[in-house]
A and B are shown apart, each in its own frame.
Chain A
């Protein structure tokens, strides 16, 4: 193994970082919005909403992401005339959008399960107190249920974010030049997979280290109520 070549590869692979981050950000945000909707459908108690949401989660979680990417990118090509007539071909012809779509749909399924658990964990008592104050519907969700559920979900959802960073590597298969895509090109040019993949792995490790830290900081900032008692309060309560 050649350390100098690892370093050179590392520097070359950095050119793929913006795309990796972009795919992650898009898929994560779209996935989060969908995940909230799917989770709300699941806990709505209405069969017509719950059934399609459960079916969606079942299918997406039960099939490999790679298969989903292939189906969207190559499979939808078969329906080109239909998609053209719908004006959607512009979208599905781009590997970029197909990749983002596949990643978003995947993230939505996993994320919705995290959120569903968090929604169910919100204290019945706090919801009841809000109702007794005259809150209902959207207001109740916006001010009480979702803030409590999202705080509860945050650590597990941070995990989902990290999985998403790693999952972006799969779209290199459909020509995307993100970190792994650039790595594959380098390898085909140099035939030195060990050095290149070590460099690529290092880049993912750094990205995920930074994201993990960011998520714990966000978690810390959002949950002052779960932190230990300040010492001044303790002495006062002991009185």
Chain B
């Protein structure tokens, strides 16, 4: 691989805008995420951070701007006042390379944990079943719930479900992982087990974008922190730097409020 290719961002957002009706939630976001980056996206509720993440895999269709994943610009076409997906297959491909972990786990309730893990690798990526099962078992081992392979999601605690959901995302061999407030729906005593799994992924050098309220985790694990306020990036920099020396007054107040809260 050439130097230039290795430098190509895994994800690139260019002047991304998103409106819901008259409400503009994202007002021009530009961002490059490189291989190995762990980017924590902070902001108070309503700042647009989840919307931004969901625009990357087109669960929300941007109103304007470009999303580039792995060098591939998502093809959008004009429709009415906004944009629409132009190439279904391209989106499906991008989605399987940018795996998402949701706030409420969103495991498929009619499938066992193992079936949840092998579903997309077998049916979307068309990999051999035996290989998928072996790999899924290794992933369940890694997140510490191998004994739950034949259990159904409803029989697991929230923390176990979220670890299963992370394993499901990993099973796709994603280039980048998108975490949408992965610990917000958990009981406080279950948060640690999920953060531990995420920390180990960051240590492996995985590329991660993480919308979170866990400031301490962002400070410890993230390589870069972005602070969103009313749809614009207010603060952006290496984690240790932005926490030590925040440039934006709003971010300064945000961290002091949340840290003592």
Contacts and interface: CB of A to CB of B under 8 A. Distances in A.
Given A125-B104, A226-B154, A135 B124 contact: yes
Contact of B109 (A126, A135, A143): A126
B122 to A, nearest CB: 10
A182 B119 CA distance: 52
The secondary structure that dominates the A interface is helix
A233 B155 contact: yes
Nearest to B111: A225
B153 interface: yes
B157 interface: yes
Contacts of A132: 57, 59, 95, 99-100, 102
B17 to A, nearest CB: 22
A136 B174 CA distance: 18
B110 A151 contact: yes
Interface residues of A, number: 27
A131 B61 CA distance: 13
B96 interface: yes
Contacts, number: 76
Interface in A141-158: 143-144, 147-148, 151
Contact of A225 (B88, B109, B157, B172): B109
B152 interface: yes
A79 to B, nearest CB: 44
Contact of B108 (A129, A134, A136, A230): A129
A123 B106 CA distance: 9
Interface in A105-136: 123, 125-126, 128-136
A224 interface: yes
A143 B88 CA distance: 18
Nearest to B89: A136
Interface string B51-84: 0000001010000000000000000000000000
8 contacts: A125-B102, A129-B102, A133-B95, A133-B96, A134-B96, A148-B110, A225-B155, A226-B154
Given A136-B88, A223-B110, A225-B109, 18 more contacts: A126-B107, A126-B108, A129-B108, A131-B59, A132-B57, A132-B99, A132-B100, A133-B96, A133-B119, A133-B172, A134-B93, A134-B124, A134-B125, A148-B110, A151-B110, A225-B110, A225-B152, A225-B155
